[in-house]
Amino acid sequence: MIIVFGSINIDLVARVPALPRAGETVAGPDYAVIPGGKGANQALAARRAGAAVAMVGAVGRDGFAAPALSLLEAAGVELSAVAPVDAATGVAFIAVDAAGENQIVVAAGANAAVRAAALERLAPAPRDTLLMQWEVPEAEILAAARWARARDLRVILNRAPAGPVPAELAALLDVVVVNAHEVLALGAGFGLADGGADGVAAAISERHGLAVAVTLGAEGAICWADGIRHESPAYPVEVVDTTAAGDTFCGALAAALDRGRGLETALEFAAAAGSLACSRAGAQPSIPDLAAIDAAAAILAEQRNPPNRRTTP
């Protein structure tokens, strides 16, 4: 089982011809109201990737709460540890340009009231997985990691939005997932010089004993663990919207590891899932199902190891 401890939002998404610069107003023809939030996105991604998933978070007592949870509920994500609180449901304001790139402003709302104490409502088994992001209070993230480590759970952190990770929290993690920008911010927090995404990921992994997975957009993903560099290309798609690509990668990676896959095949599976999420508009509506991910991952695996490849005796 995967327990996702994190944010639940409603996304207000406008498609625009170009992303606005500072002080600029850009007009879009319409907007959509779509379930989102990094925590909820990753929970749905893990569920669609074949895992049993429980969501721990908070929503407001308002009109956005039900739609924010609608796709999680429809997918069969366990929601008993989602708390209604006296604050507005979190909202993300998202602009998406013609190339599928995005610009996001998040209002935390109820996500600021998420508490690690809600994890006590769940009864995980040893080697289940806790998956977290950085859209809920830092103190609660640390408390959740302590709770998980005391129960022998695998602990995965997506350090997004970008920033440092305290040493105490780093010592509780098994895997950290970041993009090419976020890994540099993570490295800076550990006092590492900028040696590029690859070099910084390797240094963090070696120094802190973590698996460090880095998403690289169209270039795929890499992961450093135990001194070994794993890599996967992206699955080729026509990019429509990159909003949920990183969250889909995280949920799929957690699902693959939770099902016992090794890092190499888990990375391939996650890269395929993240790529597929770019081919449709919206956050949660773009997240692919297990059949689609397996098909794309099989193509990536075949590229890595062609059936007619000769090996040297």
Asked whether residue 311 is assigned to any structural domain, the reply reads no
In a domain, 56, yes or no: yes
Tell me, yes or no, whether 28 lies in a domain: yes
For 141-168, the pLDDT digits (tens) are 999 999 999 999 999 999 999 999 999 9
pLDDT for the residue numbered 177:
98
Quickly list DSSP for 129-189: EEEE-SSS-HHHHHHHHHHHHHTT-EEEEE--S-----HHHHTT-SEEEEEHHHHHHHHHH
Of all residues in the chain, what percent carry a pLDDT higher than 70?
Answer: 97
Q: Which residues form the domain of 189?
A: 2-304
Residue 58 falls within a domain, yes or no? yes
Q: What is the mean pLDDT of the chain?
A: 94
Burial 214-231 (b: 16+ CB within 10 A, else e): bbbbeebbbbbbeeeebb
Q: CATH number, domain at 261?
A: 3.40.1190.20
Please, which pLDDT band fits residue 310 given cuts at 50, 70 and 90? very low
Residue 194 has pLDDT above 90, yes or no: no
pLDDT one-digit tens code per residue, 63-91: 999 999 999 999 999 999 999 999 999 99
| Residues with active-site annotation | 247
pLDDT at 309: 52
In a domain, 122, yes or no: yes
The pLDDT value recorded for residue 313 is: 38
Does a structural domain hold residue 309? no
| DSSP label of 219 | G
Strand, helix or coil at 30?
Answer: coil
- Assess if residue 179 is contained within a domain: yes
DSSP conformational letter for 76: T
pTM, two decimals, is: 0.92
Q: Is 255 exposed, middle or buried (0-12, 13-18, 19+ CB in 10 A)?
A: buried
Count CB neighbours of 161 within 10 A.
14
Q: Quick one: the chain helix, strand, coil %, rounded to 5?
A: 40, 25, 35
In a domain, 210, yes or no: yes
Local confidence band at 195 (pLDDT 50, 70, 90 cut-offs): confident
CA distance 163 to 156: 16
Q: Is residue 259 pLDDT above 70, yes or no? A: yes
- DSSP 8-class letter at 281: S
Predicted confidence band at 2 (pLDDT cuts at 50, 70, 90)? Answer: very high
Question: Which region among 108-112, 236-240, 286-290 has the lowest average model confidence (pLDDT)?
Answer: 236-240
Domain count across the chain: 1
**What string of DSSP letters covers 36-72?**
E-HHHHHHHHHHHTT--EEEEEEEESSTTHHHHHHHH
Q: How far apart are alpha carbons 210 and 187 in whole angstroms?
A: 13
Residue with tokens 């039900």: 66
